[in-house]
Amino acid sequence: MLSHSVRSARRFPSRIPSRFHGPRRCLSALACLALAQLPAQAQAPGISREQMWPAPTTADWARPCLIPWQRDFSDARELARKTGRPLLLCVNMDGEIASEHYAGVRYRDPAIAALYAPYVTVIASVYRHTPRDHEEDGTRIPCPRFGTVTCGEHIAIEPQLYEEYFEGQRVAPRHVAVELDGTETYDIYYALDTQSVFNTIEERIAQDPPPAQRDRGDLTLLERLASTDSADREEVEAAFRSGDSLLRRRVLTRLAELPDLNPLALVRLALSSPEAAERELALDILARESSPEAVDLIALALRLGVSAEREAQLITALERLALAVPRAGTLARALAALGRGAPSTGNDFRPADWTALPQSTATVDELSARLAYRVDAQRLPADAPPSGGAPGTGTAETAHTGAGEHADHAGQLDLATAFLELALHPDTARRSADLMREDAMELASAARAGDAHLRWRADALLCLAYFSGGETEQARQLAIKTAQQIPAGAQDLGVARVLTLFVENRHERLNSALRRRRRAPAAAGQDRGGAPAADNWDASWLAEARGAFEVLVRLEADTEELTIAHHTLLYRLWATGEAARVLDQAIARYPGSWELHRRLRGRLLAEKSLDSLDGLEGAYERLLSGSPGDGVSAADLAGSSAPVLFWYAGYASLVAAEHHRRAATGEPDRAASAQGAYLRAMVHLEQSIASGGATEESAGHYIAMALAGRAKLALAAGDLLTSLEHLLAAFTRSPAAAGVLDGLNDSAVSTARMLLARLMEGDHTQAAAHLEAALAALPAEALTPPAFETRTLPGRGPNARGRRPGSRQ
């Protein structure tokens, strides 16, 4: 098999390239990892891929990863320069069989750890193995697959390495050695076996051994504070967590005195301290911090709650960081719009002043009778011009004024409302509806011209008439002018449409500004007001959008689409606290919304421990019981929503099970947690079928995937016959689901093939034959390999990537 050994005279860049897009962008390139596989002709005859790279067992995963990865690439480069050791860049991929072997077997082997020890090592993988990087008390959560680093760190490093060293090709597994001057010594991928990789790694060190390393055991705590080595940082953080309050205060004080140190990991721990003095020292550091990484911690501190004075200091710090980190300026403006100093608007939109709109259940006949009454009240013949006749009895507003002329215009609006209500009824004939809408608009226009006090009410009717007639732009422009003139508590026809269009307009303005910011260069300069030119939006737009949206919620006139748009905007503005509140309320109003549940799952995974009472499964159990807590109100959940909640609770347990499985690679006890979550998923999904909340096809598909997940757990534990039992049950429950990948890039079919190899190795010929027959009976599409298992041929020649050694292009 081909083993690349390419020497390219490339140097370290002076900084990370400006085109670095972060971990979100790199996820879009997962499909490119299909290039990582073996060429078909290189596979040894009679040896399957599963036999060539044996899958790690539960016992393998139980051993710790022994490679000391560095937390970020800048730390690694600095450590390489200080110690004279070369860099070793490693790339890994979930689900790809050779990568699984490296991660679960080789990286846990003491002999391989010793082989890698002369290098400064970094690991890149775009897959997340824990839902979050820190516990609620600020403690780091090491990646269970790789150890040392968090998932966020090995995800963030991948696009940096891709930009500098991967030459446009995402391949896994991969090993790249980089010298102190930035020159690549070798770049190994498409290797037939692991030994060829290890031979190359060993040969490089034998040619030029790095200098002997200082014994790290005699370093003081202060010396370790200044180190970029991940091992020293772990020591410092462990001492900080286990030390008393005096030690922690001394460390924080020292960090404040040495601006060149990276204090953020310790600041995160201090923010969750029960000691107020430690929290205040951490906030002092944050208020002066100039590191771009401080933005997330400032946002966290604000969510945890600070005094008004501290809030102002932290917002000032965000504004200072805005030139280097544009989202810091966005967050500062959002906080100003949503916080204590929110700007005043023309209409403060106090939601407490509003109540739900009455739900009309009137029939066409009832609305026709109401219209006839209004016509009679105006003393108008049914075919007379709307402006004729004597003054009518008017509305409540007429009683307040006592003015006959005013009463006449109010009566016209009553009549216009009756015409428009009947025109909007779904049972009204199209031609009749058009004529009634025209009458309503003529009456409203006359009333609007006759009395300025009633102009907002007339404009609300006109706005609704325009919108229902397809004249959306006219309706939108009128809504923008009218929204802030509507008095508190108004429940007139058209008010909800005006507020909806107004919120959409504010969303559109804000999103447009954010798009301009994304397109503009980071160093675009400043506008005349001193704000970054690329982030030029009015904070009052957000205050108005929030106020009008909350009124619509009180009126029970919001929509699922508008709610999702509002939540999306808040997230784009980094206003995560407000976004969480909006989402909690929305789940109760739209219990069947896939998108809202997807966002709720993501937030619970990011913020709460899987095992906590308010974690992912716990939140759904409370939703089912009608007492969700944590701001998720189930008071408005109708009884008919329970069946669909069973389905979503089952899916949430399935997601939790997959996260437990990921964690089980480093914590074997989590395998039992995964089994329990899979069982709960199956129970909830069966309940959704029994209660009519889901079809057999939908729920059965995910029950089959849960069975496949249980089969993979049993296989890892060496229980081959139990694994076979679960797989056969999965194939029976949903044959079409057999080839579908789960969140760990496994499928029932891929697990079955691994199991088949194990059965054939042992004395299980009958079980192997049974499994082979079950696989053969599956539909052809279920047996199609996923993209990353497609075997592709690498290029030919000594430099298969199409570059001459030493070239830059």
The 10s digit of each residue's pLDDT in 604-639 is 998 888 877 778 999 999 888 876 444 444 444 444
Mean pLDDT value of segment 356-365: 81
CB neighbours (10 Å) of residue 412?
Answer: 30
745 shares a domain with 714? yes
Residue 73 confidence class, pLDDT cut points 50, 70, 90: very high
Residue 790 — very low, low, confident or very high, per pLDDT cuts 50/70/90? low
Assess whether 29 and 120 both reside in one domain. Answer: yes
β-strand 174-178 against 120-124: which pairing, if any?
unpaired
What is the rounded distance in angstroms from the CA atom of residue 633 to the CA atom of residue 627?
7
Q: What is the mean pLDDT of residues 772-785?
A: 92
- CATH code assigned at 403: 1.25.40
The pLDDT value recorded for residue 142 is 93
pLDDT of 44 > 90? The answer is no
Q: Is the distance from CB of 317 to CB of 288 less than 8 angstroms? A: yes
Q: How many Å apart are CA 444 and CA 457, to the nearest integer?
A: 8
DSSP 57: -
Which of the listed residues 210, 240, 274 is the one where a domain comes to its end? 210
Compute the chain's Rg from CA coordinates. Answer: 32
Looking at the fold, whether 45 and 146 belong to one and the same domain comes out as: yes
Question: Sign of dihedral through CA atoms 630, 632, 633, 637?
Answer: negative
Q: Is residue 634 part of a domain?
A: yes
| Same domain as 173, residue 30 | yes
pLDDT of 575 above 80: yes
- Identify the pLDDT of residue 520: 60
Q: Which of 539, 520, 579, 527 is nearest to 326 (CA)?
A: 520
Q: What is the pLDDT of residue 594?
A: 95
Residues 357 and 428 grouped into a single domain: yes
Rounded CA-CA distance 785/783 in Å is 6
Which letter, b or e, does each residue of 490-520 get, where b requires 16 or more Cβ atoms within 10 Å of its Cβ?
A: bebbbbbbbbbbbbbbbbebbbebbeebeeb
Distance CA 512, CA 484 (A): 22
pLDDT tens per residue across span 99-152: 999 999 999 999 999 989 999 999 999 999 888 899 888 899 999 999 999 999
CA-to-CA separations, 301 to 305, 318, 491, in angstroms, rounded: 6, 12, 40
Cα separations in angstroms, 60 against 57, 95, 105, 429, 755: 5, 16, 6, 72, 17
Contact 87, 77 (CB under 8 A): yes
Instruction: Kindly tell me if the per-residue pLDDT of 493 is higher than 70.
Output: yes
Q: pTM for the full model? A: 0.73
Q: How far apart are CA 215 and CA 129, in angstroms?
A: 33
**Residue 620 in tokens:** 């759904």
How is residue 440 written in tokens? 């309503």
509 shares a domain with 588 = no
Task: Kindly give, in sequence order, each residue whose CB lies less than 8 Å from that of residue 476, ignoring residues fewer than 6 positions away.
Answer: 501, 504, 505
Among the listed ranges 80-84, 282-286, 403-407, 509-513, which one has the minimum average pLDDT value? 403-407
* 137/271 Cα distance (integer angstroms): 8
* Residue 801 forms part of a structural domain: no
Specify the pairing of strand 87-91 against strand 120-124. parallel
Q: How many CA atoms lie within 13 Å of 196's alpha carbon, on the beta-carbon side?
A: 15
Residue 405 has pLDDT above 60, yes or no: no
Residue 16 pLDDT > 70, yes or no? no
CATH code: domain of residue 41: 3.40.30.10
Residue 796, C-beta contacts closer than 8 angstroms, at least 6 positions apart: none
What is the C-alpha to C-alpha distance for residues 317 and 299, in angstroms, rounded to an integer?
11
Q: Which two tokens stand for residue 246?
A: 């005096």
Distance in angstroms (rounded) separating the CA atoms of residues 558 and 564: 10
Task: State residue 90's pLDDT score.
Answer: 93
What residues make up the domain containing 230?
225-338
User: 676-681 contacts: CB < 8 A, separation 24 or more?
Assistant: 677/617, 677/653, 678/653, 678/654, 678/706, 678/707, 678/709, 678/710, 678/713, 679/706, 680/617, 680/650, 680/653, 681/650, 681/651, 681/652, 681/653, 681/654, 681/657, 681/706
Average pLDDT, integer, range 660-679: 84
Give φ, ψ of 374 to 5 degrees: -65, -40
Name the residue among 630, 607, 504 with its Cα closest to residue 564.
504
Percentage of the chain modeled with pLDDT above 90? 38
Three-class DSSP category at 185: strand
Q: DSSP letter for 651, please.
A: H
Same structural domain, 561 and 638: no
Note whether 655 and 638 are same-domain residues. yes
Please tell me whether residues 158 and 190 are part of one structural domain: yes
| Residues 401-426, mean pLDDT to the nearest whole number | 76
H helix or E strand, kind and range, residue 297: helix 294-304
Amino acid at 409: H
Q: Give the β-pairing of 174-178 and 87-91.
A: antiparallel
Residue 532 phi, psi (nearest 5): -55, 130
Residue 553: what pLDDT?
94
Q: At residue 311, does pLDDT exceed 90?
A: no
Average pLDDT over residues 539-555: 92
- Spatial neighbors of 526 by CB under 8 A, at least 6 apart, are 323, 532, 533
Distance of CA 216 to the CA centre of its chain: 39
How many helices and strands, by DSSP H and E, does the chain display? 34, 4
pLDDT for position 627: 60
Three-class SS state of 275: coil
Which residues pair with residue 134 across a beta bridge?
Answer: 140
Q: Is 807 a domain residue? A: no
State residue 191's pLDDT score. Answer: 61
| The pLDDT of residue 344 | 52
Residues 29 and 108 in one domain: yes
pLDDT mean across residues, the chain:
80
**Residue 543 reports pLDDT greater than 80:** yes
Structure tokens at 404: 């006959």
**Partners of 88 in beta bridges:** 121, 177
Q: Which helix (H) or strand (E) holds 91?
A: strand 87-91
Q: Residues 6 or more apart from 373 whose CB is under 8 A from it?
A: 418
Identify whether 89 is part of a domain.
yes
End-to-end CA distance of the chain: 26
Percent of the chain with pLDDT over 70: 78
Structurally, the chain folds into a number of domains equal to: 4
DSSP 450-461: H-GGGHHHHHHH
682 and 661 inside one domain:
yes
Look at residue 601 in the predicted model and tell me its pLDDT. 94
Judge whether 461 lies within some domain.
yes
**Domain boundary pick from 148, 176, 210:** 210
The pLDDT tens digits of the residues spanning 238-280 come to 999 998 989 899 889 888 887 667 778 899 999 988 899 999 9
Task: Decide if 710 is inside a domain.
Answer: yes
Q: Are 755 and 727 in contact (CB under 8 A)?
A: yes
Residue count (the chain): 809
User: 492 and 372, same structural domain?
Assistant: yes
Is residue 9 a part of any domain in this protein? no
Q: What is the pLDDT of residues 151-189, one digit of tens each?
A: 999 999 999 898 888 888 888 888 888 988 888 887 777
In a domain, 392, yes or no: yes
Distance from C-alpha of 194 to C-alpha of 115, rounded to nearest angstrom: 13
| Res 71 pLDDT > 90 | yes
Domain boundary among 179, 210, 241: 210
Instruction: Return the SS3 of 731.
Output: helix
Residue 394 pLDDT > 60, yes or no? no
Q: Is 62 exposed, middle or buried (0-12, 13-18, 19+ CB in 10 A)?
A: middle
CA 488 to CA 355: how far, in whole Å? 10
